């Protein structure tokens, strides 16, 4: 087992309990000024209106270490307690969210399981910890089962309701997700519930409603919740990026980093944005900042950094270095995926499939198709269906690819890459008029979605003459 290291000393306060589980959202990408100033150039409601540094929050790492040590002592003093292991599990989960290190998730799971063994009834904290871990593993049925168990006796649990919403969202059950989040946000219209409502609206293609709800979410933010504030802005930046509003996206990512320096999601999104814009030096710098956070422990971000840097080298013609990094990413993802199948560890089937589909080897495409046929059994959002369609297309199953990409579009998604994929599949079938309609829709959604954008995203299309 790797040594456990704790990083990200800039994390200043707790992230809302459930907001971190939206990791399956795709990590996507104006060369903008990069001021080191702590002042914001944004206007309300996008600018952060509070002081980012609060008493006692300057060193979150040390704070969490002390909290872990406190509950570890409590557990050792009272081994039969149910509440102390549950509290320790929640702190482990906080550390996992702050660091991205898989080992903390596993420790949280072990502590929550021990808690339930000691206290089997009304132990909501332990159950919800296990639900969040199940969701991080993309075991959405288990996450919902555990959440429903809590809701039977605690109907007002916001955490449990939010897990239900995000699970339905990932499974492509948007009508149910919309009903659930509408009720939840009406009951408790805070930053977390409103951000989640905006994500459901984005998935349904309701851009105007999503924009308005994002603004409401930022208007509802509270001082001290820097993690939530940075995450909401990162999601809003990603939404703007996908609509071709690149300057706005970059500014929002930088505002998130002003609030929460070295915030991994913001750094990764910003790196991909810089890749798309051709500022490869800046992109590599952002990837390196993610790597600096943890040099000895495996994190859920490692494969993203490897793949992103490989793309940078490829775009600069450094094919040997690019292949080396891609091989490292593939090896890591294969290990994690195999572990996920055998032990319940954190696998990334969809991410591995996408990586395989970027190669020219038929065997890799067939492996990707096998992975996606398993993945689609548990996750049926637009991005998953798009990846399955890509795998079907690469393996010559063009008619099945068309059926799958149509299913993705029927969810209501307004994603330029998905429509572009639909256009290339239609062209391959000789449906030129339909293909042009899809390509026109790409321009409507994101007028900047050109060849450079496709290469930056690693869509794998340019290898086949599209």
Do 429 and 399 touch, CB atoms closer than 8 A?
yes
The answer to whether the peptide bond before residue 45 is cis (omega within 30 degrees of 0) is yes
Rg, C-alpha atoms of the chain = 22
Rounded to 5 degrees, φ, ψ at 299 are -125, 165
pTM of the model: 0.85
> What pLDDT digit, counting tens, does each position of 123-144 carry?
999 999 999 999 988 899 999 9
Between CA 463 and CA 466 the distance in angstroms is: 8
How is residue 316 annotated by DSSP?
A: T
Residue with tokens 């996450």: 143
Token pair listed for 432: 């030129």
Between CA 162 and CA 68 the distance in angstroms is: 26
How many other C-beta atoms lie within 10 A of the C-beta of residue 105?
Answer: 24
Q: For residue 456, what are the CA distances in angstroms to 18, 25, 129, 349? A: 30, 17, 36, 21
Beta bridge partners of 299: 101
Between CA 94 and CA 76 the distance in angstroms is: 21
Categorise residue 188: left if φ over 0, alpha if ψ from -120 to 50, beta otherwise: beta
DSSP per-residue letters across 381-450: SHHHHHHHHHHHHHTT-HHHHHHHHHHHHHTT---HHHHHHHHHHHHHTT-HHHHHHHHHHHHHH-TT-S
Consecutive H or E run containing 120: none
Between CA 69 and CA 63 the distance in angstroms is: 10
Q: Which of 390, 456, 454, 459 is nearest to 428 (CA)?
A: 390
Categorise residue 460: left if φ over 0, alpha if ψ from -120 to 50, beta otherwise: left
Q: Where are the alpha helices (DSSP H) in 260-381?
A: 264-277, 280-293, 302-315, 319-343, 349-357, 362-375
Between CA 283 and CA 272 the distance in angstroms is: 7
pLDDT tens series, the chain, 466 aa? 333 333 333 333 333 343 333 433 333 333 333 333 344 567 788 999 887 655 444 456 677 889 999 999 999 999 999 999 999 999 999 888 877 788 899 999 999 999 999 999 999 999 999 999 999 888 999 999 999 999 999 988 999 999 999 999 999 999 999 999 999 999 999 999 999 999 999 999 999 999 999 999 999 999 888 889 999 999 999 999 999 999 999 999 999 999 888 888 999 999 999 999 999 999 999 999 987 655 566 788 899 999 999 999 999 999 999 999 999 999 989 887 876 544 445 668 999 999 999 888 899 999 999 999 999 998 999 999 999 999 999 999 999 999 999 999 999 999 999 999 999 999 999 999 999 999 999 999 999 998 888 877 764 333 222 2
Beta bridge partners of 101: 299
How many other C-beta atoms lie within 10 A of the C-beta of residue 31?
Answer: 13
DSSP per-residue letters across 237-286: HHHHHHTT-HHHHHHHHHHHHHHSTT-HHHHHHHHHHHHHHT-HHHHHHH
| pLDDT for the residue 294 | 56
Between CA 251 and CA 257 the distance in angstroms is: 10
DSSP per-residue letters across 23-64: TTS------------SS--PPTTTS--S-S--TT-S-HHHHH
Q: For residue 38, what are the CA distances in angstroms to 268, 293, 383? A: 20, 21, 36
Rounded to 5 degrees, φ, ψ at 101 are -80, 125
């Amino acid at each position: 087992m790797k040594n456990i290291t704790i990083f990200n000393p800039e994390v200043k306060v707790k992230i809302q309990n459930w907001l971190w589980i939206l990791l399956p959202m795709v990590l996507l990408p104006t060369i903008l000024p990069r001021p080191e100033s702590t002042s914001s150039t944004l206007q309300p409601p996008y600018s952060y209106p509070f002081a980012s540094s609060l008493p006692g929050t300057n060193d979150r790492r040390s704070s969490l270490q002390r909290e872990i040590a406190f509950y570890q002592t409590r557990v050792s003093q009272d081994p039969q307690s149910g509440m102390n292991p549950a509290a320790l599990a929640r702190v482990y989960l906080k550390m996992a969210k702050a660091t991205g290190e898989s080992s903390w998730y596993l420790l949280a799971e072990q502590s929550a399981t021990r808690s339930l063994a000691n206290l089997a009834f009304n132990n909501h904290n332990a159950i919800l910890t296990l639900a969040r871990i199940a969701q991080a593993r993309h075991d959405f049925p288990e996450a919902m089962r555990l959440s429903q168990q809590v809701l039977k006796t605690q109907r007002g649990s916001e955490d449990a309701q939010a897990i239900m919403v995000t699970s339905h969202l990932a499974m492509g059950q948007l009508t149910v997700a919309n009903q659930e989040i509408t009720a939840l946000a009406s009951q408790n219209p805070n930053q977390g519930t409103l951000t989640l409502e905006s994500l459901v609206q984005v998935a349904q293609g309701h851009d105007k409603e999503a924009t308005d709800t994002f603004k409401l979410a930022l208007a509802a933010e509270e001082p001290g919740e820097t993690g939530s504030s940075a995450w909401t802005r990162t999601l809003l930046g990603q939404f703007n990026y996908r609509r071709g509003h690149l300057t706005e996206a970059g500014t929002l990512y930088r505002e998130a980093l002003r609030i929460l320096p070295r915030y991994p999601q913001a750094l990764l999104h910003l790196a991909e944005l810089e890749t798309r814009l051709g500022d490869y030096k800046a992109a590599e710098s952002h990837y390196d900042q993610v790597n600096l956070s943890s040099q000895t422990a495996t994190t859920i971000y490692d494969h993203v950094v490897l793949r992103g840097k490989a793309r940078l080298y490829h775009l600069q013609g450094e094919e040997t270095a690019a292949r080396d990094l891609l091989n490292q990413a593939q090896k890591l993802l294969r290990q994690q995926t195999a572990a996920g199948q055998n032990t319940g560890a954190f696998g990334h089937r969809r991410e591995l499939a996408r990586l395989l589909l970027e190669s020219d080897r038929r065997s890799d495409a067939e492996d990707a198709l096998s992975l996606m046929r398993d993945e689609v059994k548990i996750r049926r959002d637009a991005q998953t269906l798009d990846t399955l369609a890509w795998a079907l297309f690469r393996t010559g199953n063009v008619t099945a690819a068309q059926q799958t990409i149509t299913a993705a579009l029927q969810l209501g998604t307004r994603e330029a890459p998905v429509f572009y994929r639909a256009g290339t599949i239609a062209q391959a079938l000789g449906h030129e008029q339909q293909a042009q309609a899809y390509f026109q829709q790409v321009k409507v959604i994101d007028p900047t979605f050109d060849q450079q954008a496709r290469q930056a995203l690693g869509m794998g299309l340019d290898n086949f003459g599209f």
